[in-house]
């Protein structure tokens, strides 16, 4: 079994010294470099590079530069996807975003983790577990999502949260570690509407 096959199956694998994986990361990082150095108004070339880099995209999306990822081909984004500056996706395993996902600045989605045992870690071994995000999810600024997490539909993750465990649908969650604070209710639809009287 190759190191890439181990990576995609969630086994310990050699990320630091495997030539195939190094070459694939270099290719992705070159595309990220090209993307990050385009003019913000150059939408045509931005979409062209993202379509070469990511595994699956839908029609409407915008990724604000700079954007960084490890491989790209493990990332799938739904329709009406938006991310602000400094999105980092360490996509050693699948990272799947549903439709209508909004990501604030300085967020990180990391499927990669390292063994607690220093001997294994020092050999360059790591593991990768997938991250799945449902539809209609908003991540505030500075959120970190760790390996193996699934986030349901209609969720708000508060700024600065570190998501270590699954989050169910229809809730607001925040903190370190991120925890459900409350359900989203019909009252939330009225929260920001203002009327002149």
pTM of the model: 0.93
Phi and psi, residue 28, nearest 5°: -65, -40
Q: Return the pLDDT at 118.
A: 94
**Rg of the chain over all Cα atoms, to the nearest angstrom:** 18
Label the pairing between strands 13-14 and 125-128.
antiparallel
Q: What counts of helices (H) and strands (E) characterise the chain? A: 4, 19
| CA–CA dist 187, 192 (Å, integer) | 10
pLDDT tens sequence across 175-184: 999 999 999 8
Q: Return the pLDDT at 36.
A: 98
Q: Among residues of the chain, what percentage have pLDDT more than 70?
A: 98
Q: Return the pLDDT at 196.
A: 65
Q: Return the pLDDT at 134.
A: 98
Q: Return the pLDDT at 81.
A: 97
pLDDT tier, 197 (very low <50, low <70, confident <90, very high otherwise): low
Residues 161, 164, 170, 171, CA torsion sign: negative
pLDDT tens sequence across 76-110: 999 999 999 999 999 999 999 999 999 999 999 99
Clarify whether 114 is annotated catalytic: yes
CATH 2.160.10.10 matches 3-183 = yes
Q: If you average pLDDT over residues 142-150, what whole number do you get? A: 98
- Options 25, 29, 85, 114, the catalytic residue: 114
Please, which contacts does 49-58 make with residues 24 or more away whose CB atoms are closer than 8 Å? 53/28, 57/81, 58/99
Q: Return the pLDDT at 51.
A: 95
Lowest mean pLDDT among 40-44, 65-69, 110-114, 188-192: 188-192
Residue 130, pLDDT > 70, answer yes
């Amino acid at each position: 079994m190759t190191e890439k096959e181990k990576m995609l199956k969630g086994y310990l694998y050699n990320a630091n010294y495997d030539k195939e994986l190094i070459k694939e990361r270099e290719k992705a990082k070159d595309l990220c470099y090209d993307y990050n150095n385009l003019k913000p108004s150059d939408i045509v070339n931005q979409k062209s590079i993202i379509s070469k880099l990511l595994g699956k995209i839908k029609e409407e999306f915008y990724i604000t530069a700079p954007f960084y990822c490890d491989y790209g081909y493990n990332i799938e984004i739904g329709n009406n996807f938006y991310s602000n500056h400094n999105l980092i996706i360490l996509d050693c395993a699948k990272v799947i975003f549903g439709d209508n996902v909004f990501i604030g600045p300085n967020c990180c989605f990391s499927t990669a983790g390292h063994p607690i045992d220093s001997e294994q870690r020092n050999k360059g071994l790591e593991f990768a577990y997938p991250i799945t995000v449902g539809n209609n999810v908003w991540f505030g600024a500075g959120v970190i999502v760790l390996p193996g997490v699934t986030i349901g539909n209609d969720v708000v993750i508060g700024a600065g949260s570190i998501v270590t465990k699954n989050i169910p649908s229809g809730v607001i969650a925040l903190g370190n570690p991120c925890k459900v604070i409350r359900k989203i209710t019909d009252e939330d639809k009225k929260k920001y509407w203002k009327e002149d009287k």
